[in-house]
Amino acid sequence: MNVNQSAPPVPPFGQPQPVYTGYHQSSYGGQPGSTAPPTPYGAYNGPVPGYQQTPLPGVSRAPPSSEAPPVSTAQAPCGQAAYGQFGQGDVQNGPSSTVQMQRFPGSQPFGSVPLAPVVSQPTVLQPYGPPPTSAQVTAQLAGMQIGGAVAPALPPVRLGYGPPTSLAPASGSYPNSGLYGSYPQGQAPPLSQAQGHLGAQPPQRSAPPQASGFTSPASGGPPMPSVTGPLLPGQGFGGPSVSQPNHVSSPPPQALPPGTQMTGPPGPPPPMHSSQQPGYQLQQNGSFGPARGPQPNYGSPYPGAPTFGSQPGPPQPLPPKRLDPDAIPSPIQVIEDDRNNRGSEPFVTGVRGQVPPLVTTNFLVKDQGNASPRYIRCTSYNIPCTSDMAKQAQVPLAAVIKPLARLPPEEASPYVVDHGESGPLRCNRCKAYMCPFMQFVEGGRRFQCCFCSCINDVPPQYFQHLDHTGKRVDAYDRPELSLGSYEFLATVDYCKNNKFPSPPAFIFMIDVSYNAIRSGLVRLLCEELKSLLDFLPREGGAEESAIRVGFVTYNKVLHFYNVKSSLAQPQMMVVSDVADMFVPLLDGFLVNVSESRAVITSLLDQIPEMFADTRETETVFAPVIQAGMEALKAAECAGKLFLFHTSLPIAEAPGKLKNRDDRKLINTDKEKTLFQPQTGAYQTLAKECVAQGCSVDLFLFPNQYVDVATLSVVPQLTGGSVYKYACFQVENDQERFLSDLRRDVQKVVGFDAVMRVRTSTGIRAVDFFGAFYMSNTTDVELAGLDGDKTVTVEFKHDDRLNEESGALLQCALLYTSCAGQRRLRIHNLALNCCTQLADLYRNCETDTLINYMAKFAYRGVLNSPVKTVRDTLITQCAQILACYRKNCASPSSAGQLILPECMKLLPVYLNCVLKSDVLQPGAEVTTDDRAYVRQLVTSMDVAETNVFFYPRLLPLTKSPIESATEPPAVRASEERLSNGDIYLLENGLNLFLWVGASVQQGVVQSLFSVSSFSQITSGLSVLPVLDNPLSKKVRGLIDSLRAQRSRYMKLIVVKQEDKLEMLFKHFLVEDKSLSGGASYVDFLCHMHKEIRQLLS
């Protein structure tokens, strides 16, 4: 439970408002944006140190690039490869010869702790009769034991696994991978036996979910009780799959342990021959059941591959089989189980170190002293006490923080606390803000800082008596003493130049070159802005937005517009000296929308006409950002630039770029240059923007290479967003663009922000990932920050932690609200600390781990060859799992793959990261697409990375039409598709509707209003609006999926066997990919081998 002495037990949060009434009420109603006047909390006499009192120095811009003018911009025509159209990669023609799986690195030294020898158990440990014969063993393995908790004894592995045989699969690229788990048919018991046996196991499926172990995806049951021991998390694949018609190699009943766990008292001694016989011993683990047809192999041999999957002795009459996909951990099952187990109760944050429900579970949060998981998620909620332990486990200690996360309507926004002129109360030494973990002492006259232990005086006006437990009697009346998240109104000390900020401004900067005009973009945009300007972000109950707006158009030169309300018509001012950008007008450039509405409307009507006949194809880019930033500087305010840009900026100007796209660099040491900006000018410019609080959102409409890697530098460093619409055509793309634009313009943004993460003694924040700028090692500077953006922070030990006091994080975000109010948002989180590694592994969150690992890898490609980055990930994952195996799992055969319950999806998810477009691109994935995705992932939250790397695949006609809930997802693999069904697939960026070739005619009619499958238009992006239940349901589901995501997903209808299906299949991430990415089954086998190497 809560170890924080000062943390309140359970504040009466059924009704937060009542509790806080009398205390800045307007803010307590859950109106985050309230600008209510300060409530009279006595002034704290001591000077409150400013958070960031020194203005950020401006940085002068680098001289114009002197690079040679681009020779030509001719490139691959705008194709389907464009992101946003086909999202994570295009699958076609991935030359597997060039992108084949590389040799994986060998095992690495495993921390400083010597590895324990693999347990060797030559004899039977289980109460299950005599050791099976070799026939039984193989059969049993085929029947998929990954170390059942009650697994029957296995004979020495070598009985089952001989040297390579001649069973090489037809594919030939990898002689054995197709053979995983293949066994002579003769050894298999009749299917009915196996099934019957399994069917008799229900009682064993009643263990609590955390009992661990791969639960059998097929049975869906929780793991068996027998594996519930605290030290056995993660043991054992659960029950064997029960639904496999062609389960030819099930174990004989007597050999089949009840429930067929994957762990458990291990079978036979670990293979003593593991070194001599590098082949996969994995067969032992499991699931080698039913043949499901040939499985693609790893593209290239691993070291020691020769015996991979090899079979011993007897001639093998059957075609190769492989690990049964139903028997390996299923993301769908884990998601489902968590929904069932944790979706009904609110998540109450009063308890330290509690692992929240998964991001895929809908749940409500009650703040009782720790920040909601919507704001902070951690890779582990129980941190090793020492750095040695942490190094041994290799589990990254990281938090994914989304400081301005939007909350569901049922949850109150953080209360705003106003301490008047004295400002928020802080520790004098470490500057941490008052929070529930601070401990009041000496009758309430002082408080001890929970972060640095410093004893501070309580200012008189903040004094309050303590109750008999040592807690302040007003603790529940003060958010900062009882809640995990809250805000403070900042004093002038927290403002730039010691001046309260002006309201921010939005500047719309529109490319009016030939391409922008021709595609219809300019007309569409201007039309939309006329109405969109009425929906600028507002705070609280404000009637109108405080945000001012300005307009610029540009091609090779810039046009500024005076839209002062007193003018009858807008006035244009042209600046052609783009090398030395200045803003030609101050008065009338940034205006209030309602005051200048007529002039603005007139301007937006005229822009498309003015440039209708333009022949100008060249554009500038850096000078546009420079101009917007200078305009904000002149107006002394923060703000956001919305840039709508079409082409590589080749016009003579600072920041001019050349076409340096070169796919030949892929898989070379120079590949990293494709991700790096081609000039340093944009970093310099970004620095200036950050100093001004100028955030840049970039909407790109490229018809060819535009060098996203360089153009996205400023958005990336200023907390902005990049959107990309390749080959934009109004008719095809307007819905997506307008939807994104509306959302982007309306979303609440914090400006000119600085984020600081403080920690209690023993750990500290050492690394940061996200869209921001850092000029020192601690302050994350965000010119802008919206509710979608996350910052991932990694922690390292600098001292020993204490189990009793745990570890504390405090994230403080100083920002200017949309109304121009300076505020501090505080999030606190207390974590447990452990001296046993098992506690670490029991409290991990794989989704968060993957978020961290993806960001780590995606940053790594800037500096290292992609292959090195992939290898590093694999090695780290193997180390994490091997450490668990060695220290936490019960002794068992090395042939068993044992995964911690909380991390049983780590291999499948990691494989998705490894084969993502950034790390393993297919032939059709463009350089810009990769840079774009790399940039997007950097700011993603855990829910977004989760679905991005492992897409959701929803069958549409399996569940009753009247069912209001989303249909249960199926695993992202081709073999899960039934050709009589229709599926939706989404990953947060892309949305496909896949139609099976044998789908019923009635369904086709109901959805597409055509009479047969062949008449459905492939590539369709809009479903006809038809008045029947199925059509309504599917369209409703599409709307609801879109509403859940931060970007509009364009629909693509894909017919089975159609050309477009290749695109769709790229998202079936459990399968081998055309770019050489391993299938889940193959990768799991490979991971097992890596682990074994580490352990041997």
Least separation in angstroms between residue 856's CB and Zn ion is 30
- Say whether residue 612 binds Zn ion (CB under 5 A): no
Instruction: Return the range that interacts with Zn ion (CB under 5 A); candidates 48-56, 370-378, 419-427, 930-938.
Output: 419-427
What is d(CA 508, CA 551) in angstroms, rounded to the nearest whole number?
A: 5
Q: Which is nearer to Zn ion, 448 or 617 (CB)?
A: 448
Span from 112-120, 357-365, 423-431, 783-791 in contact with Zn ion (CB under 5 A): 423-431
489 vs 763: CA distance, rounded Å:
29
Q: Which is nearer to Zn ion, 449 or 940 (CB)?
A: 449
Alpha helices in 406-558 (DSSP H): 479-482, 514-518, 521-532
> Closest CB to Zn ion among 241 and 810?
810
Angle at 248 between CA 243 and CA 254, to 5 degrees: 85
Closer of 451 and 773 to Zn ion (Cβ): 451
Write out the binding residues for Zn ion, residues 454-493 only, by CB under 5 A. Answer: 454
Q: Please, what is the end-to-end C-alpha distance for the chain in angstroms?
A: 39
Q: How far apart are CA 597 and CA 600, in angstroms?
A: 5
CA angle, corner 376, sides to 373 and 382, nearest 5?
85
CB closer to Zn ion, 760 vs 879: 760
Report how far residue 372's alpha carbon sits from residue 380's, in angstroms, rounded to the nearest whole number.
15
Nearer to Zn ion, 161 or 451 (CB): 451
- Residue 936 CA, distance from chain mean position: 10
Cα separation, 301 vs 285, whole angstroms? 21
In the complex, minimum distance from the CB of residue 427 to Zn ion, in angstroms, rounded to a whole number: 3
| Interface region with Zn ion, contact rule CB under 5 A, candidates 19-27, 227-235, 450-458, 793-801 | 450-458
| Closer to Zn ion by Cβ: residue 425 or 581 | 425
Q: Distance between CA 1059 and CA 1053 in Å, rounded?
A: 12
CB atoms within 10 A of CB 293: 12
State how far the Cα of 588 lies from the Cα of 762, in Å rounded to an integer: 54
Strand runs (DSSP E) across 329-459, as ranges? Answer: 347-348, 365-366, 376-378, 382-384, 398-401, 416-417, 439-441, 446-448, 455-457
Cβ of residue 428: shortest distance to Zn ion, in angstroms? 7
Residue 451 C-beta: closest distance to Zn ion, Å: 5
Residue number with CB closer to Zn ion (449 or 754): 449
CA 203 to chain centre: 37
Among 8-16, 151-159, 161-169, 453-461, the segment contacting Zn ion (CB under 5 A): 453-461
Among 427, 726, 807, 854, binds Zn ion (CB under 5 A): 427
**Least distance from C-beta 449 to Zn ion, angstroms?**
3
CB of 434 to Zn ion, least distance (A): 11
Which residues, numbered 687-706, are part of the site for Zn ion (CB under 5 A)?
none
Min separation Cβ 426 and Zn ion, Å: 8
CB nearer to Zn ion: pick between 427 and 583 = 427
β-pairing, 485-489 with 416-417? parallel
Smallest distance from Zn ion to CB 435, Å: 11
Q: Which stretch binds Zn ion (CB under 5 A): 34-42, 326-334, 429-437, 654-662?
A: 429-437
Residue among 198 and 757 whose Cβ is closer to Zn ion: 757
Minimal distance in Å, beta carbon 9 to Zn ion?
Answer: 24
Beta bridge pairs of residue 982: 995
CB 534 within 8 A of CB 29: no
From the list 424-432, 577-585, 820-828, 925-933, the region that binds Zn ion by CB under 5 A is 424-432
Residue 841 phi, psi (nearest 5): -65, -25
Nearest distance from C-beta of residue 454 to Zn ion, angstroms: 5
Binding string to Zn ion for residues 1022 to 1061, with x set by CB under 5 A, is what? ----------------------------------------
- 13 or 451, CB closer to Zn ion? 451
Place of tokens 């922008």: 516
Output the smallest distance, CB 430 to Zn ion, in A: 3
Q: How far is the CB of 437 from Zn ion (least distance, A)?
A: 11
HSE on the CB side for 937, CA within 13 Å?
A: 29
Does residue 164 come out as left (phi exceeding 0), alpha (psi in the -120 to 50 range) or beta? beta
CA-nearest of 566, 564, 717 to 629 is 717
Largest CA distance in the chain: 97
In residues, how long is the chain? Answer: 1096
- CB 812 → Zn ion: shortest distance, Å? 13
Which CB, 28 or 51, lies closer to Zn ion? 51
Number of residues that bind Zn ion (CB under 5 A): 8
What pairs with residue 553 in β-bridges? 510, 559
Contact code string over 146-185 relative to Zn ion, x by CB under 5 A = ----------------------------------------
Sheet with 505-511, strands from edge to edge, namely 571-575, 558-562, 548-554, 505-511, 639-645, 694-700, 722-724
Please, which residues have CB within 8 angstroms of residue 778's CB and are 6 or more apart in sequence? 756, 765
Q: 770: which 2 tokens?
A: 């996200």
* Residue (237 or 437) nearer to Zn ion, CB: 437
The interface mask with Zn ion, positions 646-665, x = CB under 5 A, is --------------------
- Report the residue from 78, 115, 119, 452 that binds Zn ion according to the rule CB under 5 A: 452
Q: Which of 302, 415, 440, 451 binds Zn ion (CB under 5 A)?
A: 451
> Between 451 and 994, whose beta carbon lies closer to Zn ion?
451
**Taking the complex as a whole, how short is the minimal distance between the CB of residue 417 and Zn ion, in angstroms?**
19
1036 Cβ contact partners less than 8 Å away, ≥ 6 residues apart = none
Give the residue with the Cβ less far from Zn ion, 126 or 456. Answer: 456
- Which one of the spans 162-170, 426-434, 928-936, 978-986 is the region binding Zn ion (CB under 5 A)? 426-434
Closest to 582 in 3D by CA, of 537, 542, 633, 523: 633
Q: How far is the CB of 439 from Zn ion (least distance, A)?
A: 11
| Smallest distance from Zn ion to CB 403, Å | 21
Give the 3-state secondary structure of residue 769: strand
For 383, list phi and psi in degrees, rounded to 5.
-100, 140
Residues 626 and 61: their CA atoms lie apart, in Å, by 9
The site string for Zn ion over 430-449 (x = CB under 5 A, - otherwise) reads x-x----------------x
Binding site for Zn ion (CB under 5 A): 427, 429-430, 432, 449, 451-452, 454
